[in-house]
Amino acid sequence: MSIFTVTHADTGCRARTGILTLGHGQVETPVFMPVGTNGTVKALTNDDLQEIGFSIILANTYHLYLRPGTAVIEEAGGLRNFTKWKGNYLTDSGGFQIFSLAPFRKITEEGAQFRSHIDGSYHLLTPEKAVEIQTILGSDIQMQLDVCTPWGAEKKEAQTALERTAQWLNRARVSWSNAAENGYGGSLFSIVQGNFFPELRRESAEKTLANDTPGIAIGGLSVGEPEEVFREYLHFTSCLLPDEKPRYVMGIGTPEYLLWAMEAGIDMFDCVLPTRTGRNGRVFTRDGPLSIKKAENAQSFLPIDQSCSCKVCKTYSRSYLRHLFKTREILCSMLASYHNLFFLHQFVLESRAAIIENKFMEFKNEFLCRYRNKRGEL
């Protein structure tokens, strides 16, 4: 059964709008998903997220597996009941976190063995175990366990990784089908790998499509490659995927990257960047990123962004936010994170409207012209 319906395709590029039908409500696409690593989006409440308008957030399987553990969450009645989030949950498989723990993990045909960053204990995460954990969490969308390779990896390493990812998908799909027969209602998304080799990307896409999962993610991007390489391989890989499936790119969260993704026909994206940079005193504006901690804001009584309608911009000045940052008040993290997520959500809403009007490329070019002219550094 399909979970995705395309509602409009822009006539000037591959950008499109759609609707994801999930277990806890419909999600309009394109959609940016805030990241709630430990079952919470840092510095924000569930009410904040609902007030902004989010209907789906991401949680981290690796971290929740280690703490508080699946036994606690299962006893609570699943992640949604544990956290009291009313919308949908997408959970990753833990693969990227294990990829990031290179000195502390070993990947074999069976799965990924790793040492906990919390207490040093050893664990084995298999494709079946990843499905089992995410089923206990009650994910509306769960990701297969995959093997990610870094920018600069040799072709042999990339070939091995894509083959293992394909093998693990076969096993994950069996486990997911068994879970569905026992009442689990979430969808499994597969992941295309292949690093930065066109022939490997094509091979991985073919192996992935053979499993016919409800959705497909494009993996192995935003791993340190230059912008132009990201854009090239994003477009190349997206063109290999069927129109009727939702397409997801993990780990992108700046306006530029989101615009490039939407232009390539990507429907879903997530990133920790909006809240992480907010906690570090950096905020989005239509004139580019703003570092609130700079001395030039000490006596600026302007809002973060004069065109933003969020409650932070309606109420507080740059001067006050700088004061909060300098005095290390937690309120600064809360307000900056709220603004950044509101900004991105509104930005995606405007992008959707432009797609529906067949004006996405015009919207993209106008936005980037203003945003990058005065671009600071995030």
**What value does the mean pLDDT of the chain take?**
96
Answer for the pair 210, 182: CB distance below 8 angstroms, yes or no: no
C-alpha dihedral over 126, 130, 136, 141, to 10 degrees? -160
pLDDT on residue 210: 97
Q: Is 253 helix (H, G, I), strand (E, B) or coil?
A: coil
The catalytic site residues sit at 92, 270
Sorted by where each starts, the structural domains of the chain and their CATH numbers stand as 4-271 (3.20.20.105), 284-369 (no CATH)
Summarised one tens digit per residue, pLDDT across range 260-306 is 999 999 999 999 999 999 999 999 999 999 999 999 999 999 999 99
Please report which helix (H) or strand (E) contains residue 271, including its range.
strand 268-271
- Predicted TM-score (pTM) of this structure: 0.96
Report pLDDT for 376.
45
Cβ-contact 12, 358 below 8 angstroms: yes
Query: So what's the pLDDT on residue 374?
Result: 58
Distance of CA 43 to the CA centre of its chain: 18
Give CA–CA dist 324/293, Å, rounded: 9
Mean pLDDT of 23-36: 98
